[in-house]
Structure 1
Amino acid sequence: MAPMKDSLASLWATRLRQNQGIRSLMEDLGQVTGHPDEILLGGGNPAHIPEAEEIFAECFLTLAKDPLLNALLGDYQAPIGNDRFRSLAAEYLSSHLDASLTKDNIAFLNGSQNAYSYLLNIHSGKMTDGSFKKILLPIVPEYIGYADQSIEADAFIATKPEVIPTGNHRFRYGLNKNDFDLSEVGCVALSRPTNPTGNVLSLTDLDWIESKTKKRSLPLLIDLAYGNPFPNLIGEEEPVTYRDGRTLSFSFSKIGLPGVRLGIIVSNPETIQTLSSYAAVGNLAVGNLGVYMMEILFRKDILPLLSKNVLRPFYDKKRELAISIFESTFQKLGVEYEIHDPMGGFFLWIRFPNLSISNHKLYHLCKDKRLFIVSGHYFFPGLNSDFSHTQDCIRLTYCRKEEELARGAHILAEIVATHQMKSK
């Protein structure tokens, strides 16, 4: 078949074929060759943790012996999951989210990425009254996977965050409350912890945002892929609960099951019904494996203890090791750097204030050395004001082995040291 010409492609298709951050990231993961010199600090794969993988292997063995195995392999679910699984999830999550949920509050999708492709388009674009509504990201940088999900172009708006120095070579982003404009907005979306920085917005900040959205009856979408109740990588901050006006999303990916592709949405019944229509058109049905594994994990109440005793200590230790390695290497090679306080998640967000090239160019120079990172310019959808961080920040995962982190730090530091302006 001949390639599609731009003149014959939809505007949406033309946008999709342009350089996407999420496509670049996932293609980097998919093109890994296994060469011993490859250093994979770019993607969002969770670490392989033996204690967690033993639990998941037991789930597989249980399912293999289950009389319902034929149904798991041979029957469709309903578009957003069968009622018994949705009722189970509602009962289980009610206690963790301080809410009285029913199956009508629950939808399963093939990953939270899949869910957000529907949710963001439900609440943005051209409305029935003829208006055009946008998606507000109240704090950027924000998740790379949101940027290209809207069918309509120019659907995102964002405000420049406050930059708060927190110590030597440290900073964090703060919520900019002065430029918080909801006049053209259909929904507000954020992740907690925020991917890529690990920023965990306080409940005080969330309450402030919600005080504004409620006045306009706007939904607040909170992506908890790295948050509570699992894997619960939220540092010292308090957990999020469910209340009317919020749509919460959860994922099995970051507990160590990215290949299962299970996302769980908690929202009001109207949104859940709309998601069901979307899912029927886009997927026919949610996959079976994730919900069958969920049943085992929820009934045995495994995930809270796994998160507390295994996942969180593991990633805390990895984070401190990675910071130590990168800081030591940067300082040895004279690299000017700033690291966003990593309050949660499993990424480091690093700024090179004297970088003489763009972060996208830095990404390619690193890739030439078989070091995979993610350029930070992808993480600011909807930000139309000048902000130097869009060009001099990168994201790294610290989920890799110590030797790999050390080699990656050295290559990165050598490249940055060669391409940085002298300090004034």
Structure 2
Amino acid sequence: MAPMPNPSLSLWASRLRQNQGIRSLMEDLGQVTGHPDEILLGGGNPAHIPEAEEIFAEAFQTLAKDPKLGALLGDYQAPIGNDRFRSLAAEYLSPHLGYDLKKGNIAFFNGSQNAYSYLLNIHSGKMLDGSFKKILLPIVPEYIGYADQSIEADAFLATDPEVIPTGKHRFRYGLNKTKFDLSKVGCVALSRPTNPTGNILSNKDIEWMEERTKKQNLPLLIDLAYGNPFPNLIGSEEPIHYRDGRTLSLSFSKIGLPGVRLGMVVSDPITIETLSSYAAVGNLAVGNLGVYLMDILFRKDILTNLSKNILRPFYDKKRELALSIFESEFKKHGVEYEIHDPLGGFFLWIRFPNMSVTNHKLYHLCKDKRLFIVSGHYFFPGLNSDFSHTQDCIRLTYCRPEEELARGAHILAEIVASHQTKSE
């Protein structure tokens, strides 16, 4: 139930107090009690991988013995990071992103979520010429955390994606080029791999969009939280490179350090300078811990090996295990289902057709059994249509232990089977 209107609040504050998907997701994580029956398949927390945690522990020990520890704990950074760290990041990222980057192309933030709250508002809302520009999400479903980032209401645009069957119980979403309209748009934003589906928009599709955005001088924002160069959970797909007109965001969260809260933006110097103004007002300074850890991980080139030889093999194996577990339970209970091809990231996006309840109700039914999932209806900001997937789909993480996945699959299959009308 939405809270009662409070006349002392701004319109923005009132909107933030409504039922937010990202708030619901993160509060579920915060309300976990540690009860042995809890099954945590809802959040975006990366898996705890011992080999990765050993690397991070060694880096922390190096920091603890470093004479610069006093500066780490006791000194402010610049709003988007000190020049030394920005220059190091530019040098490290240049070969990975295929561009001769300089410090003026780099900004650090307290997580990429924090960075996007600024980026999206730079390019949307009421403009200097009096027009109102929106954020186009070219393919939905899209990341749950974008939906409430804009200060202005009704700032997102989206259209029904193409739904492409790819095999038995499999499909993927495709870019709907016939409805790609930039007439009211201030920027185009997407995640690659897409959170929640694991979709990976091809470079060919991205270049098709760029042909059109460049004609109108519109920026293309690409969120690489799960992509290249780290953690590089993109399967066999081609990596993304930086080029003029693109703004890329990177994150340390999905390599296994969500508690550190370090995000990076790679963009043109004017955008970076504007972000610095936002950061000074909103954050004062970027936190030190993340950039000092980055200094170690980049200088020793640790992330290349971590991504290639530890993270990707781990998540590839977990994906296949999760698919086997869930599909076995679905078939055992006679559940009708479709799974989006999990090309990257570490989520499963599952559609249950012919349900007598919505995905939001399904979320609550699962929660009553201590099974935490995410309702898919949150992932379609800006879509004003009766597209059935908005009510049919859920997101699951497969980062959890095998035993937890198995219990979750059994409970989910039982609940869905009891609320699904079978096709003839």
Give the alignment's TM-score, normalised by structure 1: 0.99
The equivalences for 1:1-400 within 5 A come to 6-400=6-400
* DSSP-derived class of the 1:412 partner: helix
CA distance in 2, matches of 1:156, 1:35: 39
CA distance in 2, matches of 1:8, 1:231: 44
CA contact (8 A) 2:200 2:234 kept: yes
Q: Where does the alignment leave 5 or more consecutive residues of structure 2 unmatched? A: none
Structure 1 residues 100-158: Cα deviation after superposition (integer angstroms, max 9, x where no partner): 11100000000000000000000000000000000000000000000000000000000
CA contact (8 A) 2:112 2:249 kept: yes
* DSSP-derived class of the 1:249 partner: strand
Q: Where does the alignment leave 5 or more consecutive residues of structure 1 unmatched? A: none
CA contact (8 A) 2:134 2:156 kept: yes
CA distance in 2, matches of 1:214, 1:306: 36
CA distance in 1, matches of 2:204, 2:422: 40
CA contact (8 A) 2:5 2:14 kept: no
Structure 1 residues 181-225: Cα deviation after superposition (integer angstroms, max 9, x where no partner): 000000000000000000011110110011110010000000000
* DSSP-derived class of the 2:135 partner: strand
- Amino acid aligned to 2:375: S
- Amino acid aligned to 2:123: H
* DSSP-derived class of the 1:8 partner: coil
* DSSP-derived class of the 2:259 partner: helix
CA distance in 1, matches of 2:66, 2:304: 25
* DSSP-derived class of the 2:86 partner: helix
Shift of 1:355: 1.2
CA distance in 1, matches of 2:24, 2:276: 30
Structure 1 residues 74-96: Cα deviation after superposition (integer angstroms, max 9, x where no partner): 00000000000000000100010
* DSSP-derived class of the 2:226 partner: coil
CA distance in 1, matches of 2:238, 2:339: 23
CA distance in 1, matches of 2:236, 2:141: 21
CA distance in 2, matches of 1:322, 1:265: 33
Please provide the CA RMSD for this pair: 0.9
CA distance in 2, matches of 1:341, 1:4: 41
* DSSP-derived class of the 1:258 partner: coil
- Amino acid aligned to 2:225: A
Structure 1 residues 151-177: Cα deviation after superposition (integer angstroms, max 9, x where no partner): 000000001000000000000000000
CA distance in 2, matches of 1:6, 1:270: 39
How many aligned residue pairs are there?
Answer: 422
- Amino acid aligned to 2:269: P
Shift of 1:422: 2.5
Shift of 1:338: 0.3
Distance 1:4 1:390, change over 3 A: closer
Shift of 1:386: 1.3
- Amino acid aligned to 1:41: L
- Amino acid aligned to 2:389: H
Shift of 1:356: 1.2
Structure 1 residues 29-50: Cα deviation after superposition (integer angstroms, max 9, x where no partner): 0000000000000000000000
CA distance in 1, matches of 2:229, 2:397: 22
CA distance in 1, matches of 2:146, 2:174: 20
CA distance in 1, matches of 2:129, 2:59: 49
Shift of 1:7: 1.3
Structure 1 residues 363-414: Cα deviation after superposition (integer angstroms, max 9, x where no partner): 0000000000000000000001110000010000000000000000000000
- Amino acid aligned to 1:203: N
Shift of 1:6: 1.6
* DSSP-derived class of the 1:356 partner: coil
CA distance in 2, matches of 1:60, 1:305: 18
CA distance in 2, matches of 1:323, 1:192: 21
Give the alignment's TM-score, normalised by structure 2: 0.99
